[in-house]
Amino acid sequence: MRQIFLDTETTGLSAENGDRIVEIGCVELLHRKLTGNNLHLYLNPERESDEGALRVHGLTSEFLSDKPKFGEVVDQFLAYIEGAEILIHNAPFDIGFLNKELELQGRQPLRTYIDAVTDTLVMAKEMFPGKRNSLDALCDRLEVDNSGRTLHGALLDAELLADVYINMTRGQDALLMDVETGDADTRSTEAVDLRHISLPVIAASEQELSQHEDVLTQLDKASNGKTVWRNAANFVA
C-alpha cells in the first residue's frame, strides 16, 4: 500500500476568505517503509501572510517571491499523490486549502485523484481519549524526536507524522513475520501473515489439573484463604 503523509503551511486560517498555501510537504511510505521519495514545495501565494501564520512558519513574502505559483506545480503534485492513501493531521484544514487551490486551477477536488484520506487526529482521539493529541503531544507520548521543530515546516511535520503513525499502528504488524528467500545476491523479504492460521489448543490433562489444584490448596493454607487465583475464579463464576 502506498501512503503519503501530507502537511501544508498557509498564509492564514481561511481558504474561503482568500488565504493560500505557501508550503507543501509530502512523505511516502510504501508497505510501511519510508522510501525517501518525498515531495517538498514552497509556493508564492501572491499575498502577505497573517502575522499569526508568519509566527508559525516563518516564511516571509520576500523568501516566497521567487517561488512557483501553485498552478505551475499542480501537475507535479497530482502525479505524485495519484492513487495513494493520504494521511493528514486535522485533515479538513489541509484538504480545504488544497481543494481551493485546485478549484482556482479548474481542477477536480483532491479526492478525485487519490484512493482515500485518513485523518490521524481522529485516530489519535480514538486511541487516546481525553488527552492532548496535537502533533507535538503525540511525539512526546510516543517518544518521537521532535527537537528540531522550532518552527512549523510542512516537510518536517509530515516526517514527524509518519513516525507517529508508525508508532500508533505498530501493533497491527505484531503477527507479521519477515521471511528471507533466495540466495545472498537475490535475497528478498516477504511478509507472511499468520493472523488467519488456527493454532491448536492443548488442554491440561487430569493429572496436571490435579497438580494445579494441590498448588492452589497449599497457597490457600499459606495465605489464610486469600489466594488471588481462586478468588478471581469464584468471582467469574
167 neighbors 145 (Cβ within 8 angstroms):
no
Higher pLDDT, 103 or 209: 103
Active site amino acids: 152
pLDDT for residue 97: 98
Measured from the Cβ of residue 200, the count of other Cβ atoms closer than 10 Å reads 4
The domain at 2-173 falls in which architecture? 2-Layer Sandwich (3.30)
In the chain, what is the greatest distance between 2 CA atoms, to the nearest angstrom?
84
pLDDT value at position 180? 45
Mean pLDDT of 40-51: 97
Neighbours of 93 (CB within 10 A): 16
C-alpha cell at 119: 485523518
Q: Which of 12-21, 56-65, 171-180, 184-193 has the least mean pLDDT?
A: 171-180
Instruction: Of 11-25, 57-71, 155-169, 187-201, give the lowest mean pLDDT range.
Output: 187-201
> Is residue 75's pLDDT more than 80?
yes
Q: How confident is the model at residue 9 (pLDDT cuts 50, 70, 90)?
A: very high
pLDDT tier at 112, thresholds 50, 70, 90: very high
Phi-psi domain of 62 (left: phi exceeds 0; alpha: psi -120 through 50; beta: other): alpha
d(CA 165, CA 177): 20
**pLDDT (tens digit per residue) in 152-209:** 799 999 999 999 999 999 865 543 444 444 454 545 555 656 566 666 667 777 877 8
In this prediction, residues 92-117 reach a mean pLDDT of 98
With cell 509556493, the residue in question is: 43
Give 25's strand partners. Answer: 7, 40
pLDDT at 237 over 60: no
> Residue 210: pLDDT band by 50, 70, 90 thresholds?
confident
Per-residue pLDDT tens digits for 121-160: 999 999 999 999 999 999 999 999 988 766 679 999 999 9
What is the pLDDT at residue 207? 78
Strands 85-88 and 116-119: parallel
Q: What is the Cα–Cα distance from 153 to 7, expressed in whole angstroms?
A: 8
Percent of the chain that is helix, strand, coil (3-state, to 5): 40, 20, 40
Strands 2-10 and 21-30: antiparallel
Give me the pLDDT at residue 178, please. Answer: 44
Q: Which of 16-30, 170-184, 222-236 has the lowest mean pLDDT?
A: 170-184
Cell numbers representing residue 128 in the block: 487516546
Phi/psi class of residue 43: alpha, beta or left (left: φ > 0; alpha: ψ in -120 to 50)?
beta
- Where do the H-state alpha helices sit in 105-174? 120-127, 135-141, 154-168
pLDDT at 216: 75
